[in-house]
A and B are shown apart, each in its own frame.
Chain A
């Protein structure tokens, strides 16, 4: 029997709307939600963890946790920020379990920039340099510019306050500018 075609509403639905439907028990919406968000989430985790297998494991675990706790998702906020909070915590737990590292800051030593896929594009080149910053600096830059999160959303994802996010962004941009200048890329 042919599988029924997805409704046009689902095809154009935003992650927030899909999350709302999934929260009301629609598994089809959750499937669509995974399809819509998986690549960006995987990209974020790949940058966080540096290993495709680890990134995929953590991404799957993230979606499992998200599904289990969908009832606690607040539709007044963006689904992506909520999902990335889970992903970040899952990635930190994963690192602690597998590498016995106690702090996310130690990821810098574990994850050299060479694990990233390089391309000739300017954006990728800058992110390759950004990856060499402290993980918190990289993370805040990625959430701001890579994921286009606003400051409150970054604060939610990183489980910190607005002022600290702004300070982190300021320091991260300064540090990145210095490194790019040293490399003659700015």
Chain B
């Protein structure tokens, strides 16, 4: 019985009853089993009642494909107008919320071309050196602050060797 089961399995895994022909010659039970299996296979291959999809199935599939393609394309297309709209809204908000000049706020300097003294280039060259002093002082302050910042970073964040 076990031998028969082994032969049947091996024959199924290989090339069918031909691979177990020597056993089949001596085993009537297996010959009968193979005959029934062959008959069963023939019956399984017979056509069955076909299932049919409803009318409009293909069109529905194509419509869904179209819809999903539009959904994937839409965000890319709508990005630019949305970005422009957002930028415009931000600009409008900034302009709207800008504080109006109060009584303490410094006067807005406006000058008409007629009120400005006309400076010639030679006149600029003749200006005294201390006109540049405030700029020089500012530069020194920046250098000093940078040195302090670097010293702070070196003291607090430098890893000891």
Q: Are B53 and A42 in contact (CB under 8 A)?
A: yes
Interface residues of B (CB under 8 A from A): 8-9, 12-13, 36-37, 39-41, 43-54, 57-58, 60-62, 64-65, 68
Q: Are B49 and A166 in contact (CB under 8 A)?
A: no
Given A64-B61, A167-B13, A180-B40, A127 contacting B48 (CB threshold 8 A): yes
10 A-B pairs besides A170-B8, A177-B37 with CB distance below 8 A are A27-B65, A34-B57, A56-B53, A123-B47, A123-B49, A146-B44, A173-B12, A176-B40, A186-B39, A186-B40
Contact of B13 among A40, A145, A170 (CB under 8 A): A170
CB 8 Å contact bits of A110-145 with B (1 = contact, 0 = none): 000000010101111011001000000000010011
CB neighbours (8 Å) of B54 from chain A are: 56
Given A42-B51, A42-B52, A169-B12, A34 contacting B61 (CB threshold 8 A): yes
CB neighbours (8 Å) of B9 from chain A are: 167, 170
Q: Are A124 and B48 in contact (CB under 8 A)?
A: yes
CB neighbours (8 Å) of B49 from chain A are: 117, 119, 121, 123-124
Q: Are A166 and B12 in contact (CB under 8 A)?
A: yes
CB neighbours (8 Å) of B62 from chain A are: 27, 30-31, 34
Q: Are B36 and A177 in contact (CB under 8 A)?
A: yes
- Residue tally, chain A, CB below 8 Å to B: 42
- Chain A to chain B contacts (Cβ below 8 Å), 22 pairs: A30-B65, A31-B58, A31-B62, A34-B58, A34-B62, A39-B51, A40-B50, A42-B52, A64-B64, A67-B65, A121-B46, A122-B43, A122-B46, A123-B44, A123-B47, A126-B43, A141-B44, A144-B44, A145-B41, A170-B12, A170-B13, A173-B37
